[in-house]
Amino acid sequence: MSRRRFTRPAQPDHLDDTGCTILHVDMDAFYASATLLSHPDLVGTPVIIGGGHRGVVLSATYEAREFGVTSAMPMSRARRLCPQATVLPPDHALYARISAAVMATFHDVTPLVEPLSLDEAFLDVAGAVRRLGSPATIGAAIRDTVADEQGITCSVGVAPTKFVAKLASGLAKPDGMVVVPVEDVVPFVQQLPVGALWGVGDRTEEQLHRLGLVTVADLAHTPVATLRRALGEHGAALHELAWGRDPRPVAPTRTEKSVGADETFAADIDDPAEIHRRLLHLSHKVGGRARDAGMTGRTVTIRVRFADFTTITRSRTLRDPTDVGRDIYLVVRDLFDALGLQRARIRLVGVRLEGLTDADATPVQGMLDEPEHGWRDADLAMDRARARFGAGAVRPASLVSRDGPEGRPT
């Protein structure tokens, strides 16, 4: 849909950015731009970052996006839309290094940095104005520093609130900056389509359109009671956003809410026993990631995607938090078996541990039938072995077979 494609507003040479101390900084086509640093000959051409024919698009250059290629799109479809594109594999280690450097640049400006992902963050620069200049000046300096030091571009939104700053950075793309003065917030927000509001996905947008609400101004001038009847409290929250009201502060610490892992198969699998093996591998990977983060979780979720791309999820909340691969696997195996799938062709499975808390604050409880040195001790021993000898050095016995590492066919 085209509802999120807006036109960048014209910016006068001198804007009053007093009070516009919230910045949203977003790298432009981050994964593609970072990958192209080692492929300068491909700059300005359509490039897709992704893996394999059955994988999904991680990112794409703006030249590829003009053909309709988007993130998370199946690679097979992306290739059909833009057959002339060069496809490059992702380099996650590179992305992590550049992201760390960019975040360090943000922290040189202010300690109030709220990362949203590797490639975007909110900054509250109120305390930096006296030292570094106006918010717009700071935004311009950040753009220059990122370009000079990392070789990639970013777009910046400058506004009084997080919601408006994020809207502004989207309008600034690519490689631009949009400032929304305090007095312009309401007209700026209300001239947009309702699909621009946070929390308005395709389904909510359809509901709003059925009510005759096409623009944010339409929604802003609709009684809150009407919106509540249609959308519950979500309707009241949207009404606040429609008037540019967003009281949330920039939160410099963000607790990871979940850890997960998934696998897209090279060919569809319809054997439940093989699915169990893949779920076992993913469960131990998720448990390891939780332990690495010093977290435990109570809610275990399985995701299953079928050959036709239909996707279902199922969850179960445990009495006690865990970071143990075997505990996670027993839950996801039961959730999968409860689906009652008979030879269904499955394209992807995923495992996620949610409701995370600090492991030190919530010690993992042993199972009643667990020996003194139980499953968690075994997991910790595997962690130590992997740290010393590599990720494939040790794994559950049921994943050791004639197949390659992690139980996958070679």
Confidence class for position 403, pLDDT limits 50, 70, 90: very low
Pairwise CA distance, residues 260 & 382, whole Å: 19
Pairwise CA distance, residues 172 & 120, whole Å: 14
Greater confidence, 55 or 222? 222
Residue type, 106: F
Confidence class for position 320, pLDDT limits 50, 70, 90: confident
Greater confidence, 148 or 408? 148
Q: Is 120 a catalytic residue?
A: yes
Confidence class for position 198, pLDDT limits 50, 70, 90: confident
Contact 78, 48 (CB under 8 A): yes
For residue 185, pLDDT over 90 is answered with: yes
pLDDT of residue 201: 84
> Which domains does the chain carry?
188-242 (1.10.150.20), 258-400 (3.30.1490.100)
Q: Rounded mean pLDDT of 186-215?
A: 91
Greater confidence, 372 or 184? 184
pLDDT of residue 390: 52
**Which DSSP state fits 83?**
T
Confidence class for position 368, pLDDT limits 50, 70, 90: very low
pLDDT of residue 184: 94
pLDDT of residue 396: 57
Cα 94 to Cα 30, 35, 38, distances in angstroms: 11, 8, 11
pLDDT of residue 41: 96
Q: Give the total residue count for the chain.
A: 410
Q: Which of 128-137, 198-207, 336-345, 391-400 has the lowest mean pLDDT?
A: 391-400
Q: Rounded mean pLDDT of 150-157?
A: 96
pLDDT of residue 45: 96
pLDDT of residue 377: 59
Q: Rounded mean pLDDT of 360-388?
A: 53
pLDDT of residue 1: 33
pLDDT of residue 409: 34
Q: Over 27-63, what HEC string results?
A: ECCHHHHHHHHHCHHHCCCCEEEECCCCCEEEEECHH
Q: Which of 50-54, 146-150, 333-337, 390-394 has the lowest mean pLDDT?
A: 390-394
3-state secondary structure of 193: strand
Residue 108, annotated as binding a ligand? no
pLDDT digits (tens, 9 = 90+) for 203-216: 899 999 999 999 99
Q: Rounded mean pLDDT of 51-59?
A: 82
Contact 21, 126 (CB under 8 A): yes
Q: In the chain, what percentage of residues exceed pLDDT 70?
A: 83
pLDDT of residue 367: 47
pLDDT of residue 381: 58
Residue 320, annotated as binding a ligand? no
Greater confidence, 32 or 311? 32
For residue 181, pLDDT over 80 is answered with: yes
pLDDT of residue 360: 67
pLDDT digits (tens, 9 = 90+) for 218-263: 999 999 999 999 888 889 999 999 999 999 999 986 656 788 888 8
Q: What is the rounded average pLDDT for all residues in the chain?
A: 85
For residue 5, pLDDT over 50 is answered with: no
Q: Rounded mean pLDDT of 302-330?
A: 90
For residue 375, pLDDT over 90 is answered with: no
pLDDT digits (tens, 9 = 90+) for 123-149: 999 999 999 999 999 999 999 999 999
pLDDT of residue 361: 60
Confidence class for position 294, pLDDT limits 50, 70, 90: confident
Q: Rounded mean pLDDT of 181-192?
A: 94
Q: Which of 114, 120, 263, 406 is catalytic?
A: 120
Pairwise CA distance, residues 134 & 224, whole Å: 37
DSSP sequence for 86-99: EEE---HHHHHHHH
pLDDT of residue 385: 52
